[in-house]
Structure 1
Amino acid sequence: MIYYVDCSAAAGGDGSENKPFNKIQQAADIAVAGDEVIVSPGLYREYVDPKNAGEEGKPVVYRSAKPRGAHITGAEELKGWTKVEGTVYTARVSNKIFGDYNPYTTLVSGDWFIAYFIAHTGDVYLNGKSMYEVQSLDEVKKAEPSVSAWDTEFSRYKWYAEQDSSTDETVFYANFLGRDPSKDNIEISVRRNGFYPSKEGVGYITLSGFVVSQAATQWAPPTAYQEGMVGPHWSKGWIIEDCEIYESKCSGISLGKYLQPENDNKWLKTKYKDGTQTERDCICQAQVEGWNKENIGSHIVRHCDIHDCGQTGIVGHLGGVFSLIEDNHIHHINNKQNLAGAEIGGIKMHAAIDCIYRRNHIHHCTRGIWLDWQAQGTRVTQNFFHDNIPPQKDGREIKAEIAEDLFIEVSHGPTLVDNNIFLSPRALKLATQGVALVHNIVAGSFTAVGRGCNNGAPNRPSPRYTPYHMKHRTEVAGFMTILHGDCKFYNNIFIQKPICAEFAARMLANAHNDWDDSNFVVGTAPYNNYPTFEEWKAGFEGYCGMGSVTTDRYYSELPVWAGGNLYFNGAKPMSKEADACVNTTDKVEISYEEKNGKIWLKTNLYDFVSSKCKLMKTEDIAPAFEPEQNYENPDGSPIIFDTDFFGKKRGEKPVAGPFADGSEIKDSLF
C-alpha cells in the first residue's frame, strides 16, 4: 500500500494520491510492513511517531517525494514581538502549546553532563539557527560574546525565558542586534523529537530524503534512556538515508539505550554508585532484557548531512550494535559550547560491537568520533577527518584536551582503523588497548597513551573494569581493566605539522597528568617503553602457576607491533620499531582545499613515497588480547587490506598510506 501526504492538502484526505493526508502522522498511524509513505515537499510542523514496525525485507518506508524537500521540524513560529529597549524584544506563548513537556522549564541534565551554567532543552532560532541562552534579561541586553563559542560574533544573539504563572505563559526576551523580528523567521522549539517511535521495538523503518530539525532533545548519556531527534528507539533494522539533520538541542540521531527505570541517570540521582559501576550494571541488566543480535541494532545511517547539534550528531549505547554508518557528512557539532560533558562528538558510541564507520567526512566538531567502551569488532575505515579542534582567535586559549579526530576509550578491541586521513592536530586519543592502525595518513598526534583509564580517585585505586564480549555477539565474556598496549601499526604515513607555542606549553604543563598528556608530537613514540612481543612473552617462560615466583606479568603493559611505517617532518617512531623509514631530508606539506562543493587533498607527499610494503591480511595482525578475537569482518571472514581510500585495488607490494598510488591525489576525496 502506498500512502500520500501533502501539507498543503485540505483536511479529511484518505491518503490516496488524489486526496492525500496533510499530516505525516496520519500515515504513520496506519502504515504497516511493506507499505510506503510518499511525502510531498513542504514544512511539517509535527512530531512523527511511527506506530507499526516493518519486517526484514518488508520495511515501512517513509520517503520524501523530492530529496530533502519534506521538512519535519520541532519548532513553531513565534510572532508578536514587542520592543523592550534598543535591540531587545519580548514575546509570549501559552504553555498549552507544549503539552506535557515544556522545554523552557526542562533543564538539560543527566549523567556525565557538566552543568557549567543552566541550559534548557528548548531554543530560540533566528532564521533556522539557534541563538544563545543566558540567565537574565540583563545578560540579554549586554549581548556579550561567548568566549568559548566557535562563532563568536553570532554568540551575541542572546535569549532568556521565564515563566508567568499568573497567565501560564512562557515569556521570551531576545536581542536581535538590530534585526527586525517581524521580518525574520523567529521560531522556538516545542517538540521533544522529530521522527522517533514513542515505544520500543518498532523496527525495520526506512526514513529517506527528509530534512529534520529543531527538536528539544535531552542529554543522552550511556547510563540513561538515550533519545534523539531521529532514531529507532531500541529496535532493529532501521535505515536513515539521504537526510539533512540539524539543530537538535542534544543529539541528532540516537541509536541508543532503552529506559531502565531503576538505572536511569542513577549516578546523578542517587550518588552512591560511581557512573562506571552503574554503566556495568546497565550492560548486565540488558543481557536479560533482550539485548542481542537477533533483536537489536543492525541499523544503517548513510548519505546524511548532520550538523549543528549541541551534543552529538549520532549517539548510542547498546542499541547501535552491528550498524553501518557510511558516506555521511558530519560537521559543526557542539560548536556553541553551551553544553559540556563526557558524551560529546560528531559520533559518540558505546558498545560499537561490529559497527563499521566508512567513508564519512567529519570536521569542525569538538571531537570527531568517540568510541567509548566495547569497541569490539569495530572498524573505522576510509574516513576524512580535519579541523576537529576549537579555533584559535583573539588570543583565546584552545581547549585542546577535548578535541581530536578519533578517541578510543577503555576498550579491549579489536578496533581496526584503516585507510583514513587524519589532519587535526590531535589525531587519536588512545586511552585503550587492542587497536590496529593500517594504511592511514596521520598528521596529528597520539595522546593519552598509557593514561586516562582510571576514575581519578585521589587516594584509592580506581581502575575501570570494562566488558569484552563473545565474538560477534553481545553476550559478555568477561571484565578487565586496561593494561595498555596491544596495539599494531602497519603501513601508515606519519607527518608532523608545526606545533604552535600554546600547544608546546601545554605538553610541558600536562606531562604528568593522569588523563591526558597533551602530546602534539606525531608518530608512535608514545609507545617507546612498551615491550615487543618477544620481550613480553619472555616474562612467561617456565612455570607460572600457583606457587611460582610472583611478578607483574599479568598486569604489565601488553606488547606493541609496528612495521612498514613512514615518518616525515620530524614525526617520531617508537624506539623498538625496527624498520621505521624516517625521512629527515624532504619537507612534506599537507592540507585540503574545498571548491565547488568538492574536497581535494593538497600535498607533495607522494613526491617522496616510493618504498613498498607488505600487503597486510588478518593473519598478519596479532588478535586482540582480552577477547582473543582477530581483526576481521563482522561475519568472521578475514580481511585483505588490498582496497584503498577510494576503493581502488592495491598490488602485492603496496605503498604506505591510504592510497594505492600517488596519482590518486588529483581526485577529489568527496
Structure 2
Amino acid sequence: MKTTIAVLCLAACAASAREYHVSVDGSHPFKTISAAAEVVQPGDVITVHAGIYRERVNPPRGGTSDASRIVYQAATGEKVVITGSEVLTEKWELVENDTWKVIIPNSFFGEFNPFADLIRGDWFANRKKLKIHTGALHLNGHWLVETFTLEDVMKPAGNDPAWFTKGDKKNTTVWAQFKGVNPNEELIEVTARRTVFYPENPGINYITVRGFILKNAATPWSPPTAEQIGLIGTHWSKGWIIEDNEVSYSACAGIALGKHGDEFDNKARSAEGYVGTIERGLKQGWSKEKIGSHVVRNNHVHDCGQVGIVGSLGSAFCTVDGNTIHDIYVRKPFGGAEMAGIKFHGAMDAVISNNHIYHCANHGIWLDWMNQGTRVTGNLLYNNDMDDLFMEVNHGPFVIDNNIFLTSPTIWDRSEGGAYIHNLIAGKIKFRPELNRLTPYHPAHSTEITDLVNTKGGDDRIYHNMLMLPGALSVYDDATLPVTRAGNAVIESASIVKKTDGVYLDLTVSRGDWGKEKRPMVTTDLLGTAKVTGLPFVKPDGSPYRFDKDFLGADRKGNMTPGPFSELKEGRQRIKVWPKR
C-alpha cells in the first residue's frame, strides 16, 4: 500500500511540473529569465531561447530533491548568452595615437559601479598598491587589459590594448586604446553586474544550469574566508548541476561552489582564522546532508582573472568532470594565493576527473586543507606556470591516479597520506613538510573535526607511475613518514600535439629499461591506511578501490603497465587524449 501511494505521488508531481519558455524577442510568455524564475516551482523547467540576456539571474527558490529540481536550460541547438555587461552607447572621442576617451554618467551603472569597485580581500597581494577594478571593458566580445596610469594608456597600442579609468561622484571616465578601429563603429561593452547566475540567499538547492554562454562579470576576490561569488555560483547550497556551459570573462572566479558570507569575511587571513571559518561553517550546516554534492561537468571555463572553479567548504562531496579550463590568471596584475584552474578547500570525498586544464598562470589543480577522501583521476594538464598539482596540508587518505601531468615542476607535495598511482609525471616533484600549521582531519566521510595536527610529510604510496626524470622520487628519501615506491618506470619523452580533431600525446618508450619487476593490481588492500587519520583508501561511497581502468577507460590485465595507459608499444607512439569520449 505504501509503495502504491509513493508511486501515485510521484506521478502527480510529474503531471504538475511545468515548462516555461523565455525569449528575448517576446515570442514566448517571458522576456527575461528573471521573470520566469519568480514563478518556477520545484520540478519545473525554464527553457530559454536564442538571444542575449543582459541580466543577473537570482533564483528565489530551488528544488526539493534530485528528483524534483528546478532546471534552467538553453533551448536545444540555440545560442543563449547571459551576460553581466551592457552595451556602451556614449560617444567616444579620439585623444591621440590609438587612445580614445568616453565619459559615462554613474547613473548608467545604478547601485553598483564596477569601475569604482576594487579587488581586495584575504590572501590578496597588491604589492604595488595598484587600483585594480572588478570592472572590464570589452571590444567585440573580448576584454581589454586594465592599466594603472593615464600616461600608460596614452601610449600607442601594443599587442594587448589597455584601458584606464578615473571617476568622481557624477561620472566615470574611461580612456582606452583601440588599435586601428573606431570604437563608435564597434561593439563596446562594460561589465555592469557583479555576477550572472547566483542566488542572493544561501540554501537554494537542487538547481540545474545547462547549455548557456555565461560571460562578463565583475566578480569579487574569492578567498576561502569569505563568501565566494563566481560568475555562476551555488552560494552555500546542495545538489546543483552546472553542465555544458561556457563560462568566461570573470574578474575573479568563474564557477564558485563556496562558503556562506558573514561578518568575518576577509578578516581571517591566518591559519587560525581559517580554522575559525571552518568552525563557523559547521555551525552553519556544513555537512553532507546540507551542503555540497554539486556536479560540474562538461563546461568550458576560460579567461578568468583569478580562478576557473573555486570552492571553500562548499566543494565537499562534489564531482567535477569533463571540463576544459584554460587562460586563468594570465594577466597577473596582482599576487597572492587562490589562483588556479581549480582551487578547493575542504573538498572531502570529491572527485575531480577527466578535466583538460592548461595555460593557468599559477597552479593547475590546487587542493588546500581537508581534501580527505578526494580523488583526482584521468585529468590532462600541461603548460601551467607553477605546476599541475599542488597538494597542500592534507592528511589523507586521498588518491591521485591515471593523470597526465606534463608541466615541470609537476607536483608540489606539502601533504601526507596520498596515493599516486598510474600517472605520467613529466617533471620535478617538490616535497616539503608543513610543521608550523595545525590543520584538521576528520572521521571517514564527515566534515566534523577529529583533531588538528601539523604536516610531517610522507606516508605516500607511489605505485606504477611513468616518470621523465630518473631521480624524481628521490625527494622522498628523507621523508619523516616512510614513502612506498614500487613499479615506477622512466620514459624517454612526452609532449602535447594539438590538431584540428583534438589533443594528442607523443610518447617515446623504451620498455627494455623497465626491468622485470612484477606490478600487481593496486587495490584498497594494497594501499593500507593513512597514518595520521587511520583511515583506509576507499571511494567516496565507502566501497573499495581497484585500479583496473586506464586513462582512456580500457581494462588493465596481467602485469600492470606503468603510467596511465594499459598498453604501450616500444618506441614512439601518438595517442589521442582529448576529447576522451
- TM-score under structure 2 normalisation? 0.92
Which stretch has the larger CA shift, 209-218 or 605-614?
605-614
Q: Does 1:248 align with 2:250?
A: yes
Provide the C-alpha distance between the structure 1 equivalents of 2:511 and 2:559, rounded to a whole number of angstroms. Answer: 18
Question: Which amino acid counterpart does residue 118 of structure 1 have in structure 2?
Answer: K
Counterpart in 2 of 1:548? none
C-alpha distance 256-338 of structure 1, shift in aligned 2 (>3 A): same
Provide the C-alpha distance between the structure 1 equivalents of 2:28 and 2:157, rounded to a whole number of angstroms. Answer: 52
Counterpart in 2 of 1:129? 142
Deviation at 1:66, TM superposition (A): 3.4
Deviation at 1:646, TM superposition (A): 0.9
Counterpart in 1 of 2:488? 565
The percentage of counterpart residues that share the same residue type is 39
Q: Tell me if structure 2 keeps the 8 A contact 1:420–1:658.
A: yes
Deviation at 1:659, TM superposition (A): 0.8
Deviation at 1:236, TM superposition (A): 0.3
Q: Tell me if structure 2 keeps the 8 A contact 1:143–1:158.
A: no
Q: Does 1:360 align with 2:355?
A: yes
Q: Tell me if structure 1 keeps the 8 A contact 2:97–2:155.
A: no
Give the SS at the match of 1:214: strand
Task: Provide the aligned length of Structure 1 versus Structure 2.
Answer: 552
Provide the C-alpha distance between the structure 2 equivalents of 1:426 and 1:3, rounded to a whole number of angstroms. Answer: 50
Counterpart in 1 of 2:163? 159
Counterpart in 2 of 1:617? 523
Structure 1, unmatched stretches of 5+, are 10-17, 146-152, 268-273, 390-402, 455-462, 497-520, 531-556, 569-587
Question: Which amino acid counterpart does residue 339 of structure 1 have in structure 2?
Answer: F
Q: Tell me if structure 2 keeps the 8 A contact 1:52–1:202.
A: yes
Find the partner of 1:178 among 159, 177, 180. 180
What are the Cα deviations for residues 613-665 of structure 1, in whole angstroms up to 9, with x where unaligned? 11110110131222211111001110001011011111142211111112695
Deviation at 1:606, TM superposition (A): 6.4
Deviation at 1:144, TM superposition (A): 7.5
Provide the C-alpha distance between the structure 2 equivalents of 1:68 and 1:209, rounded to a whole number of angstroms. Answer: 9
Question: Which amino acid counterpart does residue 103 of structure 1 have in structure 2?
Answer: P
Provide the C-alpha distance between the structure 2 equivalents of 1:68 and 1:423, rounded to a whole number of angstroms. Answer: 36
Question: Which amino acid counterpart does residue 111 of structure 1 have in structure 2?
Answer: D
Provide the C-alpha distance between the structure 2 equivalents of 1:484 and 1:100, rounded to a whole number of angstroms. Answer: 49
Question: Which amino acid counterpart does residue 278 of structure 2 have in structure 1?
Answer: I
Provide the C-alpha distance between the structure 2 equivalents of 1:669 and 1:90, rounded to a whole number of angstroms. Answer: 44
Q: Does 1:21 align with 2:4?
A: no
- Counting only pairs closer than 5 Å after superposition, residues 635-650 of structure 1 correspond to structure 2 as 635-650=541-556
Give the SS at the match of 1:524: helix
Which runs of 4 or more aligned residues in structure 1 lie more than 4 Å from their structure 2 counterparts after TM superposition? Answer: 606-612
Counterpart in 2 of 1:659? 565
Q: Does 1:119 align with 2:23?
A: no
Find the partner of 1:49 among 58, 64, 77. 58
Deviation at 1:467, TM superposition (A): 0.6
Deviation at 1:310, TM superposition (A): 0.4
Which stretch has the larger CA shift, 595-604 or 92-101?
92-101
Counterpart in 2 of 1:490? 463
Question: Which amino acid counterpart does residue 669 of structure 1 have in structure 2?
Answer: W
Find the partner of 2:307 among 289, 295, 312. 312
- Counting only pairs closer than 5 Å after superposition, residues 92-241 of structure 1 correspond to structure 2 as 92-116=103-127, 117-142=130-155, 153-154=159-160, 157-165=161-169, 168-241=170-243
Counterpart in 1 of 2:432? 450
Question: Which amino acid counterpart does residue 593 of structure 1 have in structure 2?
Answer: V
Find the partner of 1:594 among 498, 505, 514. 498
C-alpha distance 77-522 of structure 1, shift in aligned 2 (>3 A): farther
Give the SS at the match of 1:138: helix
Provide the C-alpha distance between the structure 1 equivalents of 2:563 and 2:97, rounded to a whole number of angstroms. Answer: 57
- Counting only pairs closer than 5 Å after superposition, residues 148-547 of structure 1 correspond to structure 2 as 153-154=159-160, 157-165=161-169, 168-261=170-263, 263-267=264-268, 275-366=270-361, 367-389=363-385, 403-447=386-430, 449-451=431-433, 453=434, 463-496=436-469, 523-530=472-479
Counterpart in 1 of 2:39? 30
Please tell me the root mean square deviation across aligned C-alpha atoms, in Å: 1.7
Q: Tell me if structure 2 keeps the 8 A contact 1:217–1:251.
A: yes
Counterpart in 1 of 2:68? 58
C-alpha distance 426-522 of structure 1, shift in aligned 2 (>3 A): farther
Question: Which amino acid counterpart does residue 47 of structure 2 have in structure 1?
Answer: I
What are the Cα deviations for residues 556-582 of structure 1, in whole angstroms up to 9, with x where unaligned? x211111111124xxxxxxxxxxxxxx
Counterpart in 2 of 1:399? none
What are the Cα deviations for residues 445-501 of structure 1, in whole angstroms up to 9, with x where unaligned? 111x124x26xxxxxxxx1110111110111111001111111100111013xxxxx
Provide the C-alpha distance between the structure 2 equivalents of 1:593 and 1:26, rounded to a whole number of angstroms. Answer: 47
Deviation at 1:39, TM superposition (A): 0.5
Deviation at 1:136, TM superposition (A): 2.4
Structure 2, unmatched stretches of 5+, are 1-17
Q: Tell me if structure 2 keeps the 8 A contact 1:444–1:522.
A: no
Question: Which amino acid counterpart does residue 495 of structure 2 have in structure 1?
Answer: S
